[in-house]
């Protein structure tokens, strides 16, 4: 646990930054269409990261095998194009704080997918931690009132957020299929580029590349969304997830609703009640329990064991290869 502290810290910082995403998205909803927000954001992300790759590694850093190309293409489709365009579409119908709270279902989806796809699972204590975090998120949503929960009406924006989180969970799990030669910087750059291309094609096809208004506030929000949440957080996340695993890493996104609520209060003037504060503490407690739980792999399937072993080798290679590039 002590040896992995810095990786958990990196995941923590990523989630703090990602807490700004729904805030920026809510601000930008009156500036441009969701498809244009996503596409423009990740073209800028890709430009910055590819420049860094060439600067640090030369043109050889741009090389991809056929296998990695298609894995990254799929990751760009589900994790960049679908996840982000759906998120910004949802923010047209639901407040940023509400969207941030609903996003806390993500780790449960990630753990379930990781269990079935790559054989990764948590111990009972780990699942207990996830349950506690889910309970905390639900407590926040219903303001501590069972009656509120029973009469909770989910609007279209909230339904879109649920689908959005499923796409992100797919992104996390699919990333484990990459070879050891692709480091976190390249993952973020290529998936960002592919996602932006999907946005461009779809936007042109459905006339969804629209600008409504441009002000200084919108420009600042876009730059924060692109460079801070799009570059820094994604690089940190992709680097650290290879060390701690999909289930434990995915659990950290339970912190995003907490930070999203805090930023909502500070930046957007939203209310944050004592019951929401209690719910936030429950979320953090569940996350800590889950992180401390032992991760294991089902031994019954030879193919699963082989996949896991290859992933372990990939993790070790990525850690040593990416450490000097990303964290100097």
Mean pLDDT of the chain: 77
CA proximity to 244, closest of 310, 176, 298, 167: 176
- 1 in a structural domain: no
- 283 in a structural domain: yes
- 7 in a structural domain: no
- 35 in a structural domain: yes
**In the predicted structure, residue 300 carries a pLDDT above the cut 50:** no
- 5 in a structural domain: no
pLDDT digits (tens, 9 = 90+) for 79-119: 999 998 888 888 888 777 777 777 766 777 777 787 777 77
- 294 in a structural domain: yes
Which residue has 């809510």 as its token pair? Answer: 26
Residue 116, domain extent: 18-322
- 10 in a structural domain: no
Q: Say what the pLDDT of residue 305 is.
A: 37
Domain count, the chain: 1
Convert 176-232 into a string of H (helix), E (strand) and C (coil).
HHCCCCCCHHHHHHHHHHHHHHHHHHHHHHHCCCCECCCCHHHHHHHHHHHHHHHHH
- 9 in a structural domain: no
pTM of the predicted model as reported, rounded to 2 decimal places: 0.73
pLDDT digits (tens, 9 = 90+) for 130-150: 788 778 777 766 766 666 656
């Amino acid at each position: 646990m002590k040896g992995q502290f810095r990786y958990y810290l990196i995941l923590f910082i990523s989630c703090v930054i990602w807490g700004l995403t729904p805030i920026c998205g809510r601000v930008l909803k009156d500036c441009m269409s969701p498809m244009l927000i996503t596409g423009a954001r990740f073209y800028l992300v890709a430009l910055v990261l590819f420049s860094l790759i060439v600067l640090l590694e030369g043109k050889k850093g741009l090389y991809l095998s056929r296998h990695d190309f298609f894995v990254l293409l799929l990751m760009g489709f589900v994790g960049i194009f679908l996840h982000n365009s759906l998120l910004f579409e949802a923010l047209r119908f639901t407040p940023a704080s509400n969207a941030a709270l609903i996003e806390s279902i993500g780790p449960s989806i990630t753990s379930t997918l990781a269990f079935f796809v790559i054989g990764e699972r948590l111990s009972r204590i780990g699942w207990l931690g996830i349950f506690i975090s889910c309970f905390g998120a639900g407590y926040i949503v219903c303001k501590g009132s069972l009656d509120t929960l029973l009469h909770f009406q989910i609007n279209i924006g909230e339904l879109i957020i649920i689908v959005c989180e499923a796409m992100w969970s797919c992104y996390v799990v699919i990333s484990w299929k990459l070879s050891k030669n692709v480091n976190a910087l390249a993952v973020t750059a290529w998936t960002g580029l592919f996602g932006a291309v999907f946005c461009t094609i779809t936007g042109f096809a459905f006339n969804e590349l629209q600008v409504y208004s441009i002000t200084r506030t919108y420009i600042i929000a876009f730059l924060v969304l692109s460079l801070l949440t799009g570059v820094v957080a994604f690089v940190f996340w992709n680097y650290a997830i290879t060390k701690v695993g999909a289930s434990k890493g995915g659990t950290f996104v339970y912190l995003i609703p907490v930070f999203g609520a805090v930023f909502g209060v500070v930046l957007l003037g939203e209310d944050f009640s004592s019951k929401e504060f209690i719910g936030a503490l429950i979320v953090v407690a569940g996350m800590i329990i889950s992180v401390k739980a032992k991760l294991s792999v089902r031994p019954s399937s030879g193919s699963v064991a082989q996949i896991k072993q290859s992933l372990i080798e990939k993790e070790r290679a990525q850690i040593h290869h990416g450490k000097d590039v990303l964290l100097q």
